[in-house]
Amino acid sequence: MVCPEEAEKSVPRRPGPAQKSEERKRMSYFENVRRQAEELKNREHVRILALETSCDETAAAVVEDGRRILSNVVFSQIDLHELYGGVVPEIASRAHMEACDRVIDQALREAGMTLEETDALAVTKGPGLVGALLTGVNCMKGIAFATGKPLVGVNHIEGHVSANYLSHPDLEPPFLCLVVSGGHSHLVEVTEYGCYRLLGQTADDAAGEAFDKAARVLGLPYPGGPRMDVLAEEGNPEAFELPRPKTAGKYDYSFSGLKTAFINTVHRLEQRGEPLPKADLAASFRRAVCRELMEKAEAVIRDRQREAGGRTALRFAMAGGVSANRELRRTAEEMCRRRQVKLYMPEIPLCTDNGAMIGSAAYYRLLRGETADLSMNAEPALRLI
C-alpha cells in the first residue's frame, strides 16, 4: 500500500506559470554559462573563486589558470570542535553558514579582485558532511545565479590531488598518487586531468582515521593526526612492535588491525599501572602506518618499472591531510630516491583542506566544459572512481 502523501508525490504535476518561469530562468542560466565556458577556453587567464566547506574548515581562494594562487583563506573550526573531541556536524554547518561570506570577501580582497572580475566559481560538492557541504553548495549556487558566472562542482579528493598542481607547475598527468586523508587511503593512477584508475584502497579504516583514533587512546586532543606526528618526533619508533597488516589485494591497505594492536598495547601498559611512554607509542604507531603506506606504493612502482624493463620515467605524488606527516614525507623521499622516481608533494599548508586545491581542480573541469546547473546538490558519498 502507498500512503496518500507518497501517492500524491508520485503523480507528476503540470508545471504552473511560476514553475515554468523558474525553469526558463534556470535554462537560460545554464545556456549562458555554457557559452561562457566555451569562451574561457581561449582566454589568456582564467581566475576562479573557489569555496570548500566539506568538513571543519571554511576556506575560499582565488586561483589563476589552475596553477597560481592569488589568495587562499582558511578559517579553521578546530576551537569549536576541540571540546567534543571530534567534528560535530551540526556545529560545523552553522559555523560554515556564518563564515562563508566573510571568508569569500577576504579571499577576493587578498587577490585584489572584485567578484565581477572573477571568471568562474567552484565549490566542493562531496564527499563530506552533508550539512557542511550544503552550506557551501547553496552559497555558491546563489552567487552563480546572481552573477551569471559558470559554477563547477568539485570532488574534494580530486581537490587534494590537484594541490600538487599548485605546488609543482611542471606536474602533468600521467602520474601515480597516494591519496591519504581522514576518509581515504587510495593508490591511484592519474591518467589525465580528472581521470583516475584505482590501483589499491583500504579495506577498513583510512590512514588519517587510524592516526586520529590512536591519538585519542593516548589522550591527545582533536585533531589527533598532527599531534601524534609532533609527539612522535620525540619518541623511539622501535620501542613497540606492531603487526604488519594482511590484505586481500597486493596494493590494498588495512589499518584496523594495527589500530587494535595499538589500543591493546596501551591497555596492557595501563593495566600494569605503568606510565605511558606516549612519545615512543606515537613514534611506533607512526612508523607502522608509514611503512605500510610506502611499501604498497613501492610495490606499484617496482611492478611498473619491471613491466617497462626499467625504461620508464615514473612520477609519484602524495595528497591529503596525512601527506603532511613528517615521517611519511621522509619515507617517500627515501623510497623515490632509491627507485629513481620523481616525487611530488604539496607544500604543508596545501596538504590539508583549503580552497585553492578546489580552484585548481575546477579549472581542468571547466576546460572540459563541465559546468554545473543550479540543480547541483551536495553528494556526501561522492567517489573519486
Residue 265, binding choice from Zn ion, ligand KG4, none, Cβ under 5 to 8 Å by partner class = none
Amino acid identity, position 219: G
Residue nearest to Zn ion (CB): 353
Asked if residue 155 binds Zn ion (CB under 5 A), the reply is: no
237 prior amide bond cis, ω within 30: no
Asked if residue 331 binds Zn ion (CB under 5 A), the reply is: no
Backbone angles phi, psi at 315, to 5 degrees: -120, 135
Choices 29-37, 56-64, 116-124, 348-356 (CB under 5 A): range interacting with Zn ion: 348-356
- 326-339 and 278-307 are packed helices; what angle lies between their axes, rounded to 10 degrees? 30
Distance, in Å, from the CA atom of 176 to the CA atom of 317, rounded to the nearest integer, reads 6
Asked if residue 284 binds Zn ion (CB under 5 A), the reply is: no
Give the CA distances from residue 310 to residues 294, 304, 307, in Å, rounded to whole numbers and listed in that order: 20, 8, 8
At its nearest, how many Å lie between ligand KG4 and the CB of residue 174? Answer: 23
At its nearest, how many Å lie between ligand KG4 and the CB of residue 254? Answer: 17
At its nearest, how many Å lie between ligand KG4 and the CB of residue 324? Answer: 4
Q: What does the chain come to in residues?
A: 385
Residue in 357, 367, 353 with CA at minimum distance from that of residue 120: 367
Asked if residue 167 binds Zn ion (CB under 5 A), the reply is: no
Cβ atoms of 128 and 157 within 8 Å: the answer is: no
Cell numbers describing residue 339: 627507485
At its nearest, how many Å lie between ligand KG4 and the CB of residue 215? Answer: 7
Distance, in Å, from the CA atom of 374 to the CA atom of 22, rounded to the nearest integer, reads 11
At its nearest, how many Å lie between ligand KG4 and the CB of residue 127? Answer: 8
Beta carbons within 10 angstroms of residue 192's beta carbon: 11
Cβ atoms of 110 and 63 within 8 Å: the answer is: no
Identify the DSSP state of 15: P
Closest CB to Zn ion among 52 and 280?
Answer: 52
Closest CB to ligand KG4 among 250 and 330?
Answer: 330
Give residue for cell 595528497. Answer: 319
Cell numbers describing residue 131: 550539512
Closest CB to ligand KG4 among 280 and 353?
Answer: 353
Residue 225, binding choice from ligand KG4, Zn ion, none, Cβ under 5 to 8 Å by partner class = ligand KG4
Closest CB to Zn ion among 173 and 225?
Answer: 225
Cβ atoms of 145 and 374 within 8 Å: the answer is: yes
Closest CB to Zn ion among 60 and 281?
Answer: 60
Closest CB to ligand KG4 among 66 and 208?
Answer: 208
Segment 168-227, which members bind Zn ion (CB under 5 A)? 181
Closest CB to ligand KG4 among 71 and 185?
Answer: 185
At its nearest, how many Å lie between Zn ion and the CB of residue 133? Answer: 12
By the criterion CB under 6 A, which residues form the site for ligand KG4? 55, 156, 160, 181-183, 208-209, 211-212, 223-226, 229, 320-322, 324-325, 352-353
